[in-house]
Amino acid sequence: MHKLVIHGGAGVPDRGAMTTEREALTRVALAAALAAGDAVLRGGGSSLDAVETAVAALEDCPLFNAGRGSAFTDEGFVEMEASIMDGRSRRSGAASLLHRVRNPVRLARRVMDCSPHAMLAGEAAERFAEGQKLPLERPDYFHTAERWDAMVRLRERGGAPRFEDQLADSGRGMGTVGAVALDRHGDLAAATSTGGLAAKWAGRVGDTPVVGAGVYADNETCAVSCTGQGEYFLRGTVAYDVAARMAYLDLAIEVAAAAALQERMADAGGLGGLIALDRRGNCALPFNTPGMYRGWVGEDGERRVFIYE
């Protein structure tokens, strides 16, 4: 048995702000990421390889706020972050404050597999990426007019950037990307990647690279990837809380995921969503925004993609 679940962010605009063309392009991109990750699983590959492959595909697509389509800081450059976690060993890798790495999720994987650490950040992380022969890009690779214009508008408003403002400002929304997978060996894995908030302060780190907040995986319970207002996911350790409710309260994944999102994040005023997958192939995809770019594929090979309820 195998399964792959992905998300392209919970920062989805209201239906009226989503053009037909944008929706169609987004659905195609989600399906392509599912196909890429599913091919790994069908070929006998690991859940780790599958989530890395699926998230890298989303990073390469400028429609999503990760990798090539990342948001800009208030100083006018991208600062990307990503993480990955192995449910079998509970090893993890993460990278943050990246300006040039084409696929932050691949760097996170190398941090896990090829370094003694769990997270690297900034220039040192990019030197490590270069040493690992990972592609680095010039600033113009990450430049998309819509992301730039959104940053300028939000920066002109002043104050700290608000997720709600970004939902209203953009016709495509602002969100993190992620994937969770179960392979034929029964191993779970999760990965998350983001460009963060538009017009965020330079140096801001969100939940995405933090184990237990934006990502978590444990074969005994589930794999989780979160998206939304990072500060709330950090304060609520939401990703781990899903697993903890399953482990200590013996809750089904659907109940645990919905309760964690509501009680640890939404009740405090946060907006977002998550995807979660257990070792039996059951998944949960709760969110409290107008929608969440999401999809899954299992043994039958049918790729299911959704945006709204």
Residue count (the chain): 309
* Cβ partners under 8 Å of residue 61, min gap 6: 29, 32, 33, 67, 68, 69
Residue whose entry in the numeric block shows the structure tokens 């304060």: 235
268 CB neighbour count, 10 Å cutoff: 12
Q: What is the pLDDT of residue 168?
A: 57
Q: What is the pLDDT of residue 171?
A: 47
* CA angle 254–43–185, rounded 5-degree value: 50
Structure tokens, 231: 């500060």
CA 109 – CA 92 distance, rounded (Å): 8
Q: What is the pLDDT of residue 14?
A: 80
* Mean pLDDT, residues 42-62: 98
Q: What is the pLDDT of residue 23?
A: 92
Q: What is the pLDDT of residue 173?
A: 53
Verify whether residue 192 is a known catalytic residue.
Answer: no
**Phi and psi at residue 31, to the nearest 5°:** -65, -35
Up-side HSE of residue 117: CA atoms within 13 Å toward CB? 12
Q: What is the pLDDT of residue 17?
A: 79
Maximum C-alpha span of the chain: 51
Long-range contacts of 136-143 (CB under 8 A, 24+ apart): 136/100, 136/101, 136/102, 137/100, 137/101, 137/102, 138/100, 139/77, 139/78, 139/99, 139/100, 141/68, 141/102, 142/67, 142/68, 142/69, 142/70, 142/78
Confidence label for 12 from pLDDT (cuts 50, 70 and 90) = confident
Q: What is the pLDDT of residue 174?
A: 57
CA 183 – CA 178 distance, rounded (Å): 17
Q: What is the pLDDT of residue 165?
A: 66
Give me the amino acid identity at 115.
Answer: S
Portion of the chain with pLDDT greater than 70, in percent: 95
- 180-216 residue pLDDT tens: 999 999 999 999 999 999 999 999 999 999 999 999 9
Task: Report CA-CA distances (Å) from 309 to 14, 94, 225.
Answer: 11, 31, 19
Q: What is the pLDDT of residue 87?
A: 98
* Mean pLDDT, residues 121-133: 98
Domains and CATH numbers, the chain: 3-300 (3.60.20.30)
Residue whose entry in the numeric block shows the structure tokens 């990246």: 98
CA 56 – CA 120 distance, rounded (Å): 19
- Choose, from 176, 208, 227, 237, the residue flagged as catalytic: 176
CA 159 – CA 156 distance, rounded (Å): 9
Confidence label for 164 from pLDDT (cuts 50, 70 and 90) = low
Give yes or no for residue 166 having a pLDDT over 80. Answer: no
DSSP structural state of residue 221: S
Order of strands, sheet of 222-228, starting from the edge strand that comes earlier in the sequence: 215-217, 222-228, 272-278, 283-284
How does the average pLDDT of the chain come out, rounded? 94
DSSP secondary structure of 104-153:
HHHHHHHHHHHSS-SEEEHHHHHHHHHHTT--B--GGGG--HHHHHHHHH
Nearest CA to 273 out of 282, 139, 118, 283 is that of: 283
CA 242 – CA 162 distance, rounded (Å): 25
Give yes or no for residue 308 having a pLDDT over 80. Answer: yes
Question: How far, in whole angstroms, is CA 114 from its chain's centroid?
Answer: 22
Portion of the chain with pLDDT greater than 90, in percent: 88
Burial of 133 (0-12, 13-18, 19+ CB in 10 A): exposed
Q: What is the pLDDT of residue 158?
A: 74
Give yes or no for residue 16 having a pLDDT over 70. Answer: yes
Residue whose entry in the numeric block shows the structure tokens 């978590």: 216
* Mean pLDDT, residues 206-233: 97
